[in-house]
Amino acid sequence: MKKPLNRLVAGLTPSSKTLPAIEVLGVTSHTDDVRPGYLFIAIPGTRADGHNYIPTAIDRGAVAVITNGRDLGDLPVPQIKVANPRRAASLIAAEFFDHPSRKMTVIGVTGTNGKTTTASLIFSILKTAGLKTAQMGTLGLIAEDFPRQKTLTTMEPVALQETFHRLVRHGFTHLVMEVSSHALQQYRVADVDFNLAIYTNLTPEHLDYHHTMEEYFHAKAKLFKMLSITATAVVNVDDRYGEAIKSESTAPVVTTSIASEADVHFTRIDSTLDGIKGEIRAGEHRYQIESSLIGSFNLENILSGVAAAHILGLPPTAIETGIKACTVVPGRMEIITTPSGNKVIVDYAHTPDAYEKVLSTIRKLAPEGCQITVVFGAGGDRDASKRPLMAAIAESYATRCFVAPDNPRFEDPAQINAEVVKGFTRDCYTIFEDRGQALRKALNEMNPGDIVVVLGKGRENYQEIRGERIPYSDFEIIEEFCRAH
């Protein structure tokens, strides 16, 4: 693709008319990606400032640069000064790729917990309905004939718009994507045209970045403030912030609730460790639900998925079959039954709220007298205040707890574990330096009927230590145990 520079930046600056009509062949904010003919956007980051790399970008062939207006002296290429290069990156990327999100039905899912499961349920329904659909989020990009690629929960704006463009070119009509609070705060989706936006819940998370729950809320609310009047918001009003999100939405709102007769709600629920059966009412429609997913939080996710599909006018059979077909979401309440009949449950939970939801569900649905062992840890270089809270919650539902490393990053694992165990009030825990050792001990010491719950890493296949990703997989250890027994 190529676009004349003056047209590409017309929406950014009144002086665009005086710019030369240089052909721009690509857009990037990473110097490694610069090619001859590219426009380079210098973005100040937390660890590096793109302005320091402008000479390198020009040496690599950049024909123009976007800056935040600082004095860079005379440059051999046009410099377009803007107040916010991050915001400019989104607008320019959308313009360069001809606003591809306008050519698809785009469904955004945001919230602290439940984004991946809700997105996966909607993806399953849309595919069941025969629609060419892609899914984007923490599981990577999932699209037929596209290689599965691991990405940020929400891509950077240039990569995001380019991916939209490629999907449109390959005939995709629908996209369901997770939208993180970081992405909203950093304008990554500022020029995405969402047809539907779904709110799951809001609990303390990423406070190392957002600092307060109020800031975190306002970051999430940005998605609902940017909706057009022709879009629709789906809001879980069982969550304490649901009503506030409703008032922030610039689009009509459809509410979901387990506890009350919201616009979309359950009229009947049967929930066990084997799954969920029930009936959902949406307006005059009733949907018969059968799912292998478990827990009250998955009731919320299923409601959001059904609400989205109902708004899109999909056939009831596609909705019901699509829900049933979504048998497992990788790393989210995955249940592995060992040869001896014990259950091992793996979940990506890494916040106090997620711990509460997962462990309370398992304790409630577990057979009487069942011994529950929880293997967990806390990530390094993240909000440290949640560490003892997770221990306190684990203690309240587990028979015993094994505390082990979970992506310590640049922190000392021993120090992280020391902060975790401050939340225990009884002698129910053991500290391990090696996560694999903790998990193997928990598995080998199961008695008939016992349950082992492994929290934090989900389907991750690494431990992040000192800037390196060291191969490690909870799942491989569990599968190895099952093969040996």
Which pLDDT score is estimated for 113? 87
DSSP 343-364: EEEEE---SHHHHHHHHHHHHH
- What predicted TM-score, i.e. pTM, was given to this entire model? 0.83
Structure-block tokens of residue 420: 């975790």
Q: pLDDT of 262-292, one tens digit each?
A: 999 999 999 988 899 999 999 999 999 999 9
Which pLDDT score is estimated for 213? 82
Q: Which residues, 6+ apart, have CB-to-CB distance to 412 below 8 Å?
A: none
Section 40-61 average pLDDT: 92
| Beta-ladder partners of 270 | 277
Section 121-144 average pLDDT: 96
Measured between alpha carbons, how far is residue 478 from residues 202, 319, 401, 404, 445 in Å?
Answer: 32, 33, 17, 16, 13
Structure-block tokens of residue 433: 């330096």
Q: pLDDT of 455-483, one tens digit each?
A: 999 999 999 999 999 999 999 999 999 99
Section 211-230 average pLDDT: 90
In angstroms, the CA 478 to CA 435 distance is: 12
In angstroms, the CA 57 to CA 323 distance is: 48
Residue tagged 């009927």 (tokens): 449
Task: Kindly indicate the confidence band of residue 259, based on its pLDDT and cuts at 50, 70 and 90.
Answer: confident
Which pLDDT score is estimated for 77? 95
Does the pLDDT value for residue 332 go beyond 90? Answer: no
Which pLDDT score is estimated for 363? 94
In angstroms, the CA 188 to CA 331 distance is: 26
Other residues' Cβ atoms within 10 Å of the Cβ of residue 452? 24
Which pLDDT score is estimated for 465? 96
For residue 285, report the phi and psi dihedrals to the nearest 5 degrees: -95, 145
Section 142-167 average pLDDT: 87
Q: For the chain, give the percent of residues with pLDDT over 70.
A: 98
Does the pLDDT value for residue 346 go beyond 80? Answer: yes
Which pLDDT score is estimated for 209? 62
CB 351 within 8 A of CB 112: yes
Structure-block tokens of residue 95: 């313009």
In angstroms, the CA 86 to CA 240 distance is: 31
Does the pLDDT value for residue 189 go beyond 70? Answer: yes
Which pLDDT score is estimated for 256? 97
DSSP 122-191: HHHHHHHTT--EEEEETTEEE-TTS--B---SS--HHHHHHHHHHHHHTT--EEEEE--HHHHHTTTTTT
Does the pLDDT value for residue 97 go beyond 70? Answer: yes
In angstroms, the CA 362 to CA 135 distance is: 29
What average pLDDT is seen over the chain?
93
Name which of 49-58, 70-79, 417-426 the model is least confident about.
70-79
Task: Kindly indicate the confidence band of residue 152, based on its pLDDT and cuts at 50, 70 and 90.
Answer: low
Mind listing the domains of the chain with CATH numbers? 3-96 (3.40.1390.10), 100-325 (3.40.1190.10), 334-484 (3.90.190.20)
Does the pLDDT value for residue 208 go beyond 80? Answer: no
Other residues' Cβ atoms within 10 Å of the Cβ of residue 95? 19
Does the pLDDT value for residue 129 go beyond 80? Answer: yes
In angstroms, the CA 293 to CA 323 distance is: 9
Does the pLDDT value for residue 211 go beyond 90? Answer: no
Which pLDDT score is estimated for 446? 96
Q: pLDDT of 234-243, one tens digit each?
A: 999 999 899 9
